[in-house]
Amino acid sequence: MQKALPFRWPRTVWTGANRLDRWTVLVVGIALLLALPVVTVFLTALRPPGEVWRHLADTVLADYVLNSLALMIGVGMGTLFIGVPAAWLTAVREFPGRRLFEWALLLPMAIPAYIIAYTYTGLLDFAGPVQTLLREIFGWSRQDYTFPDIRSLPGATLMLSLVLYPYVYLLARAAFLEQSAAVLEVSRSLGAGPWRRLTAITLPLARPSIIAGLALVQMEALADYGTVQYFGVSTFTTGIFRVWFGMND
């Protein structure tokens, strides 16, 4: 009785000139695995819309689109406002504590956005220490002053900006550090002032890195669920959750 031999891949596939085929198969397999959600969404979009989609389009879809766009634009502007100046200061300028700030400015990446949201909500709510201190100092009642509502679209924009700006900071700082000092010296010798050098040379050279960081920020902002759900902001992520678990579709 003959024994079954263990299966082995042909040597022509894995050795010699065809050694790359193994990596090709591996890469294609990983790519297909990662593409499954996108393909599923695409195939679902090709189906005729059901009653659920018609209901969403007639009621809340416009709010989801507008809030998501506003969040992406606001967070993008906020992270640019924080990340680019911080990157330029720590890469170009010398000041006490610069090396500490180089690393400290990365710490928000270690903190989930919804934790920041909980923290600031506790600080800035009506019963929080900030408003309580204001009422005690000035003797105000609730009707005597107006305080911004942190649990809102602007509040969510601020929270995500404070957490996501390191994406812009990291890439922009790397771009600033790679710029040639000789170019800046030549521009200085030609009479260009600090502002002119910044706007005409430094920022344009760093623009691709800044745009890459901004793209990462906006994808993270669009994908966030915890912060927008806690603040009661209707975006695509909260809408998908409600449809998936509420309507089973």
Spans of all domains in the chain: 11-39, 60-246
Instruction: Name every residue whose Cβ is closer than 8 Å to that of residue 231 and which is 6 or more positions away in sequence.
Output: 117, 150, 151, 152, 153, 155, 156, 159
Give tens-digit pLDDT for 85-105: 999 999 888 889 889 999 999
Say what the pTM is.
0.78
pLDDT at 183: 67
Q: How far apart are CA 108 and CA 98, in angstroms?
A: 17
pLDDT at 50: 66
Q: How far apart are CA 121 and CA 101, in angstroms?
A: 26
Q: How far apart are CA 177 and CA 221, in angstroms?
A: 27
Residue 139: pLDDT band (50, 70, 90) is confident
Give tens-digit pLDDT for 187-228: 677 666 777 777 777 888 889 999 999 999 999 999 999 999
pLDDT at 168: 96
Torsion sign, CA atoms 69, 74, 80, 82: negative
* Higher-confidence position of 115 and 47: 115
pLDDT at 45: 66
Token digits for 179?
């710029």
Burial of 17: CB neighbours in 10 Å, binned 0-12, 13-18, 19+: exposed
Helices marked H in 15-128? 20-46, 51-59, 61-92, 98-104, 113-124
Instruction: Name every residue whose Cβ is closer than 8 Å to that of residue 167 and which is 6 or more positions away in sequence.
Output: 79, 83, 213, 214, 216, 217, 220
238 close to 196: Cβ distance less than 8 angstroms? no
Fold classification of 60-246 (topology level)? MetI-like fold (1.10.3720)
Token digits for 66?
């507008």
Torsion sign, CA atoms 87, 204, 92, 192: negative
